[in-house]
Structure 1
């Protein structure tokens, strides 16, 4: 079972390895730089070597929050492409399989234009061999794209690049796809498969939600402690469509619990299902 957390690279990207081990993870996700500024990766050769030599994985690089592939603005588009290209190149250097990014917002240009813009921006990238760009599902608010499975499918259809996808369970739930029971999970999985295709799903951001289904509110909760709840999270963790994917936690640190507690909870919910069978 591949389960881990989004950990810090403070002091060097190779420090993510020890931090992941400390919380009990065996795969994970990182930012290569602050996600709030246009700062590219700054990785020393010795750091990259130590990271590549680790047995943990798979790993995901999460792109900067500033990246907006769907934007109609030329300057923001250019910055977004340059930033994402740098992350893809860093992934190749580090031996990381996946770079994860949101589609962004069309900011008034309209859904279809936004999807066209995103597909075009993706095709302006030179994604290195061995690296796959993943488009993450979104909670959906304002003019953000990616909350509908149809948006993900449309970008895949319009792009000439071999992209994949990452489902965030909290985002998917907030976007209106129910995940709070085994039946609801099965229905949502079927909807994704029919619209996008499970063969292109490579990662799951495993987060519970502090807000109800369909609220478009993106706020993560501890596994089993939010609106998705224990039954829903257990069904997700053990669904045949997901169980072999890397589960990456972006859960909060609050109420005395952090990543280690959530990783243990995920393993307990997998074990509980195995025992019941």
Structure 2
């Protein structure tokens, strides 16, 4: 099972490998810098080399770089669009430097421009990127609150269809659940995956953000819970990690640190549910 967590790069990107091993992970996700600011990754090549070597020697992979929270591909605002494209270009270049396979990004919000215009904006912004060989941009499913796009699988499919880039999809289980796709039982997971297959296509699915949800499905509230202890629950998480279309994908945790438990507990829980 490829399972890991979103870990910190504090003190140098090479520290992410040790932190991943510390929580029992064998793949994972990082930010290259604080996701709350516009900032270049500026990765030291020596630390990048150590990161690459540590990954090759100690992990199964892959790694995913998560784009800045400030990036809004769907925006109608020219200045924000320009900053978003520039930030994404820096992330895909950093991915090439680190030997990271995926860069994950939310489509963002159309902020009143309308769904179709927002989808066009997102696709055309992605087309502005010079994505290095060996790097794939993944668009992430969203909880769909407000004017944010990506909650409906059809919106993910539309961007993949409209973009000239060879894009993939990251399915966030808590986001999909919040957006209205029930994942709380084996039958519900099967129905949701059939919808994904029919709308997006399973070939596009490259990664799963494995998170439980603190809120009921369809609420559009994005708040993650420990695996099996949220509204998705043990049955739903077990169905996800054992589903034929998902089981061989990398699972990345973004679960909370609370109640004396963090990533290590959730990595163990995922493996336990997989084995049951």
- TM-score (structure 1 length as normaliser): 0.98
Q: Deviation digits for residues 160-197 of structure 1, max 9, x if unmatched?
A: 11000000000000000000000000000000000000
State the match for 1:78 in structure 2.
Answer: 82
Q: 1:130 aligns with which of 125, 134, 145?
A: 134
* Structure 2 CA distance for aligned equivalents of residues 6 and 103 of structure 1: 20
Unaligned runs of 5+ in 1: 273-277
* Structure 1 CA distance for aligned equivalents of residues 178 and 22 of structure 2: 31
Task: Find out whether 1:263 has 2:267 as its counterpart.
Answer: yes
State the match for 1:11 in structure 2.
Answer: 11
Deviation at 1:106, TM superposition (A): 0.2
Task: Find out whether 1:205 has 2:209 as its counterpart.
Answer: yes
* Structure 2 CA distance for aligned equivalents of residues 27 and 157 of structure 1: 29
1:42 aligned counterpart, secondary structure: coil
* Structure 2 CA distance for aligned equivalents of residues 128 and 99 of structure 1: 11
State the match for 2:45 in structure 1.
Answer: 45
Give the CA RMSD over aligned residues.
0.4
Q: 2:186 aligns with which of 182, 189, 196?
A: 182
Deviation at 1:78, TM superposition (A): 0.3
Unaligned runs of 5+ in 2: none
1:61 aligned counterpart, secondary structure: strand
Q: 1:105 aligns with which of 102, 109, 115?
A: 109
* Structure 2 CA distance for aligned equivalents of residues 223 and 63 of structure 1: 24
1:53 aligned counterpart, secondary structure: helix
Q: Deviation digits for residues 21-43 of structure 1, max 9, x if unmatched?
A: 00000000000000000011021
* Structure 1 CA distance for aligned equivalents of residues 164 and 63 of structure 2: 24
1:100 aligned counterpart, secondary structure: strand
Deviation at 1:75, TM superposition (A): 0.3
* Structure 1 CA distance for aligned equivalents of residues 129 and 188 of structure 2: 37
* Structure 2 CA distance for aligned equivalents of residues 40 and 171 of structure 1: 28
How does 1:161-240 map onto structure 2 within 5 Å? 161-240=165-244
- TM-score (structure 2 length as normaliser): 0.98
State the match for 1:275 in structure 2.
Answer: none
* Structure 2 CA distance for aligned equivalents of residues 181 and 271 of structure 1: 17
Task: Find out whether 1:154 has 2:158 as its counterpart.
Answer: yes
Q: 1:139 aligns with which of 134, 138, 143?
A: 143
* Structure 2 CA distance for aligned equivalents of residues 157 and 60 of structure 1: 23
Q: How many correspondences in the alignment?
A: 272
* Structure 1 CA distance for aligned equivalents of residues 45 and 166 of structure 2: 29
1:135 aligned counterpart, secondary structure: strand
* Structure 1 CA distance for aligned equivalents of residues 107 and 257 of structure 2: 27
* Structure 2 CA distance for aligned equivalents of residues 68 and 11 of structure 1: 28
2:137 aligned counterpart, secondary structure: strand
Task: Find out whether 1:254 has 2:258 as its counterpart.
Answer: yes
Deviation at 1:271, TM superposition (A): 1.1
* Structure 2 CA distance for aligned equivalents of residues 141 and 264 of structure 1: 31
Deviation at 1:114, TM superposition (A): 0.2
